Amino acid sequence: MFCYQCQETAGNKGCLLKGVCGKDYSTANLMDLLIFNLKGIAIITTAMRRAGVAADYRTADKTIMESLFATITNANFDYTSIAKRVDNTFALKARLLQEATAQGVQLPANEAVTMQGSPEEYDRLALGVGILRETNEDLRSLKELTIYGLKGLAAYAEHAGRLGYEDDEINAFVERALHDVTMGLLSADELTALVLETGSFGVKVMALLDKANTESFGHPEITEVNIGVGNRPGILISGHDLKDMEMLLEQTEGTGIDVYTHSEMLPANYYPKFKKYKHFIGNYGNAWWKQREEFETFNGPILFTTNCIVPPTAGASYRDRVYTTNAAGYPGFKYIESDAAGHKDFSEIIAMAKTCQPPTAIESGSIIGGFAHHQVLSMADKVVEAVSSGAIRKFVVMSGCDGRQKGRSYFTEFAEALPSDTVILTSGCAKFRYNKLPLGDIGGIPRVLDAGQCNDSYSLAVIALKLKEVMGLDDINKLPIVYNIAWYEQKAVIVLLALLSLGIKNIHVGPTLPAFLSPNVAKVLIDNFGIAGIGTVEEDIKTLIA
Ligand code: FSO
Ligand code: SF4
């Protein structure tokens, strides 16, 4: 096992025996084998696409996206579920290989294409196909940076896909990128270009997901979200999948059960289509890493639609109340399948909720959010006026992820220390570090504007581009917007690459720079994009705001 894909990697170097996230040794290795198979599939489909032959690309696309997603930090800890994916990818690879050969497609020689194995061989095969297979530290860094971007991209593509929105150009790119990092033909410069191209496809996928979400559920609007509790039993839904949110609200209506969001599902509260449900009470708790305490006091069942599962402690009372679906999984948690049409039956969760106590209040009051592009642009005049008059000196983008490391209190302190003529633009679960602070407003514009989930960073880019146009600027970097971003897992990687591909410079990233950036690759990012880590609150306020 060697894994260094997330911010909490051991010693900021790499997890070797067990993940800090809780992923065990053999599951981590098995994920390497799964990725290796995806690379093999991608090499075949890329060759077939280039040859212009017909094939079952749809199954390949779906398999690749879902499996990449399943290897994201904290998404799936279940060896059996990953092994099932490995079975499927070996079978799919064999089938595609046969199709390609039958149609006379020339395939490059690569072990990722030809390797086959049976379940009893998986553990042994996995040992030879991990990250350290690439021995050049810089090439490894660039390849893994691409793959982590692709993982984040795949998660967003999967959400859009579940709402019926797909883009074959994105699918073909993911496969070509996997092909390119595996074939070993690209120089460091070409790999750097691939990293940036991954970022530009990140923009495309976030735009696609934005379209999928807003066309399906309406444009997020300014909303006061209740953070207290009602007096009926509830179901807590976590993760990013709004299709699941919709189905859960539909199926719980009139059952006497309430619905609450946790962590990254908070922004579901901002969508018109969800707000109309009376039994949708609000948000319970904070970011993902607080789940061990918050799931105890919630008292009812919990549904994980995506990643950020924290392994429960041995004595956790909620263990039997947790359900997973989609790419998420944990040994012992129940898994909800979908039928061929994408429908899920949540009746087991609803029945369980009926036997549970209502949630115990841990907070009261409300928080405000819903500042995605449509909402903010509808008040563009007010925003531009506040900037021109000097009432707003700077916008500070503080998007990304929260995490459990102590050093992350920096982000709360930074938010508190910001001068009162600055506004925080946020998205992702990073917001839980400051969205309950009494930061006030500037002429009616709240000082923390939450656009939504991490993928809604797209909204912040749309807002920036619009402001640039309205203010008649020739460079996005001339806007009074600075970036101080928190990262944890691979969705933050695609968000960061997307911002870089838009030409945004001088982004600060914390609490630590990724371990997967080799010193040379980090230098390229620092020299060309002005990427920086974080310092002390005082220093960073000086650098970013003064
Ligand atoms: Fe947070 Fe987890 Fe959305 Fe991430 S819940 S950490 S960047 O999955 O995806 O922001
Ligand atoms: Fe370690 Fe992060 Fe990988 Fe988990 S995902 S094994 S914590 S680097």
Q: Answer whether 223-354 and 374-545 agree in fold.
A: yes
Query: Given this model, what pLDDT does residue 546 score?
Result: 83
Closest CA to 112 of 102, 121, 125: 125
CA distances from 90 to 71, 96, 407, 436 (A): 17, 10, 42, 48
Residues lining ligand 2, Cβ inside 6 A: 3-6, 8-9, 15, 19-21, 23, 28, 73
- Write the CA distances from 522 to 187, 244, 468, integer angstroms: 17, 38, 29
Low-confidence ranges of the chain (pLDDT < 70): none
**CB neighbours of 346 closer than 8 A, spacing ≥ 6?**
235, 247, 248, 251, 252, 303, 336
Give the residue, by CA position, lying nearest to ligand 2 atom 6: 19
C-alpha–C-alpha distance, residues 190 and 498, integer Å: 18
Backbone angles phi, psi at 518, to 5 degrees: -70, 160
The string of DSSP codes covering 142-194 is: HHHHHHHHHHHHHHHHHHHHHTT---HHHHHHHHHHHHHHHH----HHHHHHH
| 445 three-class SS | strand
Per the structure block, which two tokens stand in for 46? Answer: 């890329």
Closest Cα to residue 437, out of 453, 414, 454? 414
Q: Token pair 């500042």 is at which residue?
A: 371
Query: What is the distance between the alpha carbons of residues 452 and 264, in angstroms, rounded to a whole number?
Result: 8
d(CA 76, CA 140): 24
Question: Which ipTM value was assigned to this complex?
Answer: 0.96
* Secondary structure string (H, E, C) spanning 237-253: EECCCHHHHHHHHHHHC
Counting from 1 in the atom list of ligand 1, the atom nearest the Cα of 307 is: 8
Residue 318 CA to ligand 2 centre (angstroms): 24
Q: Is the pTM of this model over 0.90?
A: yes
| Tens-place pLDDT, residues 409-441 | 999 999 999 999 999 999 999 999 999 999 999
Does 452 contact ligand 1 (Cβ within 6 A)?
no
Ligand 1 lined by 491 (C-beta under 6 Å): yes
Fold of 10-216: Substrate Binding Domain Of Dnak; Chain:A; Domain 2 (1.20.1270)
Q: Which residues, 6 or more positions from 185, have their beta carbon under 8 angstroms from its beta carbon?
A: none
At residue 508, the 3 state secondary structure works out as strand
Q: Which ligand is nearest to the CA of 307?
A: 1
What is the CA(14)–ligand 2 centre distance, in A?
7
State the burial class of residue 283 (Cβ atoms within 10 Å of its Cβ: 0-12, 13-18, 19+): buried
User: In the 8-state DSSP scheme, what is residue 258?
Assistant: E
User: How many whole angstroms from 490 Cα to the centroid of ligand 1?
Assistant: 8
Q: Are 282 and 362 in contact (CB under 8 A)?
A: no
Q: From atom 5 of ligand 1, which residue's Cα is the shortest distance away? A: 264
Ligand 1 within 6 A of 207 CB? no
| Strands 441-442 vs 445-446: parallel, antiparallel or unpaired | antiparallel
3-class SS at 317? coil
For residue 162, report the distance from its CA to the centre of ligand 1, in Å.
Answer: 19
Task: Indicate which atom in ligand 1 lies nearest the CA of residue 238.
Answer: 5
In this structure, what token pair is assigned to residue 316?
């956790």
Ligand 2 centroid–CA 510 distance in Å is: 17
What is the SS3 string spanning 34-62? HHHHHHHHHHHHHHHHHHCCCCCHHHHHH
Q: Where along the chain do its domains lie?
A: 10-216, 223-354, 374-545
Architecture of the 374-545 domain:
3-Layer(aba) Sandwich (3.40)
Q: Which of 373, 483, 486 is nearest to 428 (CA)?
A: 486
Q: Which CATH number fits domain 223-354: 3.40.190.10, 3.40.50.300, 3.40.50.2030, 3.30.1200.10?
A: 3.40.50.2030
Protein residue with least CA distance to atom 3, ligand 2: 3
pLDDT of residue 394: 97
- Residue 362 CA to ligand 2 center (angstroms) comes to 30
| 3-class SS letters over 70-108 | HCCCCCECCHHHHHHHHHHHHHHHHHHHHHHHHCCCCCC
At 274 the pLDDT is: 98
Counting atoms of ligand 1 from 1, which one is nearest the CA of 306?
Answer: 8
Distance 445 CA to ligand 2 centre (A): 39
Report CA(487)–ligand 1 centroid distance (Å): 9
